């Protein structure tokens, strides 16, 4: 990430910098070669995000990071030394499928439960801080779990990976990579497309220069860069943890330290990835989702419409012979009378009666006011879907 001295205006406080266009770098790597211009833009946008973070975060957000870091620590170190001693690798699983969980010491078991409580509380606090990003927080955790599975499968048959390689866990590794990539794509696409809608609705301007500034000030290039960096850091954390436990009796404490260190950075990265989109979009958005997800929701709105609609005379609102069925098509009751008995048949527009087979009328005469109008005028004018 860009350090604070990356900015040319070091004496400008966070309160004075309001927009991304106000940031200027002290040194542009593009002077060396134009290919580095993307790196300059990434540094600039990440620096801007860090300014906003210092400006807007309170002790509550830092406490959330502390709780997540504690969850990582409690899961990485057993204070009675059981994990450090390696344990019995022949005892695995959870009863009744195995006796691995029952074989651990009471202190380690209590520590395991405490770590799970911290994880649950950490997720709860994330949802409290960033309510618009609840679904996306689940995507990030699924990505992290998938990356962890990748790190474990890479050590299957190769405890010293990457210093040795085995093909035993290649299928699991590919599966974890596909899942992590998919959820990362869904997560980023939902945020980017919601950003596009937000800019179109709130910053529309006939002046293309002003519109261009608005689009740039809402750029997510730096945010996507942090997402990629977070994915790498979370993999390094998972790899260090897997590397530590894969060696018997146990690996060096250095791998354990790396697991906790990179795990803490991963916790911080999750908070940043969830905070920035909500901070950018404000509280006006109902939910952050992709364009396709919005289309599906719009289709489901049809389920909230009445299944049947009774037609009414457009002049006096008297109920008429026409109604709208579940499929959205008009249904007309037959108006024929045979031997002083009214036909109870019905049918759709421009069809025959289901009972007497007579042609159904295209116009209806109101029994109350006597006005004759087209059958479609007795129904509300809304789309069938």
pLDDT per residue, tens digit, the chain (385 aa), is: 444 444 443 333 333 446 777 677 777 777 787 887 888 888 888 888 888 888 888 899 999 999 999 999 888 887 766 666 666 666 666 666 666 666 677 777 788 889 899 999 999 999 888 888 888 888 899 999 999 998 888 878 777 787 777 778 788 889 989 999 999 898 888 888 878 777 776 666 666 777 777 777 778 888 899 999 999 999 999 888 888 877 766 667 788 888 899 999 999 999 999 998 888 776 544 566 666 655 555 555 444 444 566 778 877 888 887 877 655 567 888 877 777 777 878 877 667 887 887 887 777 778 788 777 777 677 765 433 2
* In a shared domain, residues 80 and 141: yes
Q: Is residue 265 part of a domain?
A: yes
First-residue to last-residue Cα distance in the chain: 49
* In a shared domain, residues 174 and 323: no
d(CA 257, CA 277): 31
d(CA 381, CA 383): 7
Residues 6+ apart with CB under 8 A from 123: 137, 141
Please count the helices (runs of H) and the strands (runs of E) in the chain.
9, 8
Q: Which pLDDT score is estimated for 85?
A: 64
* In a shared domain, residues 91 and 213: yes
Q: What are the φ/ψ torsions at residue 256 (nearest 5 degrees)? A: -65, -40
Total domains, the chain: 2
How many Cβ atoms are within 10 Å of 42's Cβ, its own excluded?
19
**Four-CA torsion 244, 248, 253, 258, nearest 10 degrees:** -10
The H-or-E segment that residue 340 falls in is none
Q: Is residue 126 part of a domain?
A: yes
Q: Domain range spanning residue 151?
A: 4-296
* In a shared domain, residues 30 and 136: yes
Indicate the residue among 296, 325, 340 that finishes a domain.
296
Q: Is residue 384 part of a domain?
A: no
Residues 6+ apart with CB under 8 A from 58: none
Residue ranges of alpha helices (H) inside the chain are 37-56, 59-76, 106-129, 134-154, 170-202, 208-217, 221-246, 253-281, 291-300
Q: Are 332 and 347 in contact (CB under 8 A)?
A: yes
* In a shared domain, residues 309 and 213: no
* In a shared domain, residues 227 and 354: no
Q: Are 132 and 120 in contact (CB under 8 A)?
A: no
* In a shared domain, residues 181 and 210: yes
Q: Is residue 149 part of a domain?
A: yes
How many Cβ atoms are within 10 Å of 47's Cβ, its own excluded?
21
Q: Which pLDDT score is estimated for 361?
A: 77
Supply 297's token pair. Answer: 């929701």
Q: Is residue 368 part of a domain?
A: yes
Q: Which pLDDT score is estimated for 64?
A: 93
* In a shared domain, residues 357 and 292: no
Tell me the β-bridge partners of 352: 359
């Amino acid at each position: 990430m860009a350090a604070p001295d990356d900015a040319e205006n070091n004496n400008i406080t966070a309160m004075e910098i309001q927009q991304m266009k106000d940031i200027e770098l002290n040194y542009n790597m593009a002077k060396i070669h134009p290919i580095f211009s993307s790196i300059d833009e990434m540094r600039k946008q990440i620096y801007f995000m860090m300014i906003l973070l210092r400006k807007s975060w309170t002790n509550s957000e830092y406490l959330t990071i502390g709780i997540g870091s504690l969850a990582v620590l409690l899961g990485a170190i057993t204070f009675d030394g059981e994990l450090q001693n390696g344990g019995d690798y022949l005892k695995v699983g959870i009863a009744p499928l195995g006796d691995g969980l029952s074989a651990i010491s009471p202190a380690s078991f209590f520590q395991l439960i405490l770590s799970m409580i911290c994880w649950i509380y950490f997720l709860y606090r994330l949802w409290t801080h960033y309510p618009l990003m609840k679904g996306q927080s689940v995507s990030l955790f699924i990505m992290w779990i998938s990356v962890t599975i990748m790190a474990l499968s890479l050590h299957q048959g190769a405890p010293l990976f990457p210093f040795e390689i085995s093909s035993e866990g290649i299928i699991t590794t590919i599966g974890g990579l596909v899942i992590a990539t998919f959820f990362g794509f869904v997560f980023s696409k939902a945020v980017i497309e919601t950003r596009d809608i937000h800019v179109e609705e709130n910053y529309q301007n006939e002046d293309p220069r002003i519109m261009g500034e608005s689009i740039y000030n809402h750029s997510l290039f730096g945010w996507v860069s942090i997402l990629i960096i977070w994915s790498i850091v979370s993999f390094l954390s998972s790899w260090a943890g897997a590397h530590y436990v894969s060696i018997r009796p146990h690996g060096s404490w250095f791998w354990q330290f790396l697991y906790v260190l990179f795990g803490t950075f991963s916790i911080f990265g999750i908070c940043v990835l969830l905070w920035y989109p909500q901070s950018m979009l404000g509280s006006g958005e109902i939910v952050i989702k992709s364009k396709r997800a919005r289309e599906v929701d719009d289709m489901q709105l049809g389920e909230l419409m009445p299944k049947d609609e009774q037609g009414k005379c457009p002049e006096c609102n008297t109920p008429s012979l026409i109604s709208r069925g579940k499929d959205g098509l008009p249904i007309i009751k037959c108006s024929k009378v045979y031997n002083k008995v009214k036909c109870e048949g019905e049918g759709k527009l421009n069809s025959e009666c289901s009972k007497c087979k007579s042609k159904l009328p295209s116009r209806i005469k109101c029994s109350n006011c006597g006005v004759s109008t087209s059958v479609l005028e007795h129904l509300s004018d809304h789309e069938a879907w």
